[in-house]
Amino acid sequence: MGINLTNFISSKSKSKRMAEFQDLDHIDGVSISAVSANLYNNQRDDLVMFYFREGANNASVYTQSKIISENIKWNLNQKSKKIFSLIINTRNANCFTGKQGYKSLEKIAELTSQKLTEKQKEDEDQPKKIKSKEVIFGCTGTIGENFPEEKIKSKIPELVSKIKYTQNKLIWMKAALGIMTTDTQPKMAMEKCFIGNSEAKIFGIAKGSGMIQPNMATTLAYIFTDADISNDILKKLLKKNISTTFNAITCDSDTSTNDMVSIFSTGQLKHPKIKSFNDEKLKEFDSALNKVLLNLAKRVVADGEGASKLITIDVQGCKNDSDAKKIAFSIANSPLVKTAIAGEDPNWGRIIMAIGKAGVSCNHEKLSIKFGNVSIVQNGKVNPSYKEEEAADYMKGDSINIFIDISSGSKNFTVYTMDLTKKYIEINADYRS
């Protein structure tokens, strides 16, 4: 399974922060396949399958948009305890496609279950009959276009035949490339941790570049582990860790109709049984999962459409979590703040504006603001030692950290965003071209 170079060419890959890739290797119970269904009419990989030979426990969080894609409707209707396959297509969101889009997924799931059942008979000593409801989908791309059922169905036999039981970095890269839309680089992350004396792996891939502000989840992200964790505990772990990772990023304040973050547990690792969400044995796993999700989330922001800078906004000293989050997102989503940073202008007055419009009561006489290590405002007044040239020099970097201290409490929240450049307009003006 070689890398399809067309994916690299199509992505217009840019060399920037966080471009390095971790060495994801083999993880027991996960198999991968990626092919071209020619959805882009350029032969790039655009159809990806994850196959779980023994089935996998699963949990997902989805967009809270009031208009959702047909694949999310399909996934929500499947109540299977185990999932045997995840299929992801790009180029077409399968949203606002109505019965056509949903029926297409039914047919594709039926064909996939048939072909995977045949593969079980060929490869397994105790083959299983895989059902269509044990197949779920991720879709991404343009909204409102008929779903390309025939193109995808015609490639299911090839997708199944090319399944690789053993993975390496290149195979994971192929999968991550295969789910991209306007992304310029694949997004992969990994962590290892211990459950008892057994070392567990947590791998993840994601896509996302535009139409991104989270609302329960954002973009598409898929997490895989060889640990043996129940569906219920996976759900609690995912919801907890989404709040400070994928629910703490914004590129353009737009929530997609297709957002989903899923985690799959193959149970192939032998370790002490996890009895509850509060089990002490989960402590390392919980921390490692957060690191994977945050790594992927920051990669999405760093690769935001037209982005030249990754921006971290750390709001501290608030009365409650909600206030900190409101202020952080108010700053992160301000076009005036984002364009100033794109222009490398330390216009801190725009930060003041964004704090004020957040709707949070605060005593501005206690307010402090820093750009990196450059103290601009202290206790509601311009720092007497502040030199704008120092701030301007700091703004030339490609990672910008903004610190806000409200000094009215002990709660904080961190949001990750990007700058707003002319390139963002160009990309979205030509999105369907």
Asked if 82 contacts 136 with a C-beta cutoff of 8 angstroms, the reply is no
Q: Is 339 helix (H, G, I), strand (E, B) or coil?
A: helix
The 3-state DSSP class for residue 106 equals helix
Q: Which of 218, 225, 245, 255 is catalytic?
A: 218
Backbone dihedral angles phi then psi of residue 416, each to the nearest 5 degrees: -115, 135
Contacts of 427 (CB under 8 A, 6+ apart): 182, 210, 305, 306
225 carries an active-site annotation: no
For residues 131 and 116, what is the distance between their CA atoms, to the nearest angstrom? 9
Of 103, 140, 129, nearest to 222 (Cα)? 140
DSSP-based three-state secondary structure for 422: helix
> CB neighbours (10 Å) of residue 149?
18
Q: How many CB atoms lie within 10 A of CB 114?
A: 16
Judge contact between 289 and 202, C-beta under 8 A. Answer: yes
Alpha-carbon Rg of the chain, whole angstroms? Answer: 22
So which residues are the catalytic ones? 218
